[in-house]
Every structure is written in C-alpha cells, then in structure tokens.
Amino acid sequence: MAAVLEFAILGLLQESPMHGYELRKELTAKLGAIRAAISYGSLYPTLRRLQAGGWITEAAETPATAEEVPALTSRRGRVVYKITAEGKERFAQLIAQAGPETYDDTGFGVHFAFFARTDQATRLRILEGRRRKIEERREGLRDVLGRAAERLDAYTLELQRHGLDACEREVRWLEELIANERSGRAPTVPNIGTAGGRREDNSPPPPGETRNERP
C-alpha cells in the first residue's frame, strides 16, 4: 500500500523542486545505504501516479523570465516536478500512519532517512517496531542454527551465522538510537557540520524536531 518510492519522492520534493534525473541522483545519495539505485522503470511511473493523485505538479522550466537567452546551457525537455499542498499533507499522513509495514528493511530505511521530518514520538515508535522485527528474525536464525543445524550444509550455516551477526549488530544500533531518542538528543554524533545547501521550503519543522540549523 504505502509504496516506498512515493514516500521518498514526496519527502525530497519538499526540499526543492526537481526533475527526474536529479531526483534519481538525490534519491540514490539519500538511500544509498538501503537500495543500490532507483530504476527509472519505477521512478517515472511513480511520478505519474503522484501527479494523477494531485500530490505533485509539473512546474515550467526557465525560472523567472521566459524570454531569457535560451541557448545558455542545457535547457531542453526537462520536466521539473514540484510538491503541492496536498502532497505535503499526504507525506505527513504517511509518516503518522507508520504501521507494521514500516518495519521491513526498505520501509524502515526510507522512513529513517526522513526522520528529520518526523516527530519524536513517531521516531520512537518506528525504532521500537523495527527492533522488535529484527529480534524476531534473530530468534528465527538462532532456532535454525540450533535445531536444524545437522540438516544444513556448512555454507548454509555460515550464511545464517553471518545473518545472525548482522541482526545482533542492528539490534544494538537500534538500542543506542532509542536511548538517544529518549534522552531528547539527535543521533549519535550530536551535530556534524552545518546545514548548508538549498532549503527553499518554508514548511515549519514538526514538533520535537531535531535538525541541523545554520549557526
């Protein structure tokens, strides 16, 4: 139902309007730890879906004056997308819902990537839901390694061991994040660098927000 890409695009377009190619690059940078690279075969259909729903619109290229020198640099068939008020509402709604489907690998990753736009209570709920899910996976792997070990070959066992290790590690990571969250601080390293770059949107940060700001 929730559609990971839809969510991510709405989140990114809230920072600034973008065309498809740029969107893909930003998406890849932001979700690099989660997904390898977003396929155009998903991106463009999703954009059309979002447009059909009224969550985003096509914005005309050539920013202010239309009769500028047209041959300056590349300015051809680019289609710039822009989020609508309904889109922002939708995004907030998707965050607020944040059900069990949010706890699988991809769903969690993409939600986490937009934690800066998520209120603290929801952050905590998501982190705990995710931890629970990983703990279950961990128990499943332990079961297999314990009970069914004789039925499996050495390679399969090694794979399970590696997976189990990753689970234990992630649980510990989540514990830290949860502790940090409860103490009201931002993630591990309190404040890395300053938030530069573009920030044209003027939507107020959600309550309980912890976000890098210009000093």
Residue numbers at the binding site for DNA (CB under 7 A) = 1, 3-6, 19-22, 35-42, 44-46, 48-49, 73-74, 76-80, 101, 104, 106
What is the rounded distance in angstroms from the CA atom of residue 93 to the CA atom of residue 159? 39
Minimum CB–partner distance for residue 89 and a copy of itself (Å): 22
Strand-pair partners of 40: none
Closest CA to 139 of 167, 114, 158: 167
> Could you please report the per-residue DSSP string of 174-201?
HHHHHHHHHTT--SSSS--S---S----
Tell me which stretch binds a copy of itself (CB under 8 A): 47-55, 56-64, 88-96, 166-174: 166-174
Token code pair at residue 20 = 């498809």
Residue 65 interacts with which of DNA, a copy of itself, none, CB < 5 to 8 Å by class: none
Give me the half-sphere count of Cα atoms (radius 13 Å) on the Cβ side of residue 18: 22
Instruction: Pick from 10, 23, 38, 113 the residue near a copy of itself by CB under 8 A.
Output: 113
Note whether 187 binds a copy of itself by CB under 8 A.
Answer: yes
Q: Which residues bind a copy of itself (CB under 8 A)?
A: 29-30, 32-34, 36, 104, 109, 112-116, 137, 140-141, 144, 148-164, 166, 169, 173, 177, 186-197, 210-212
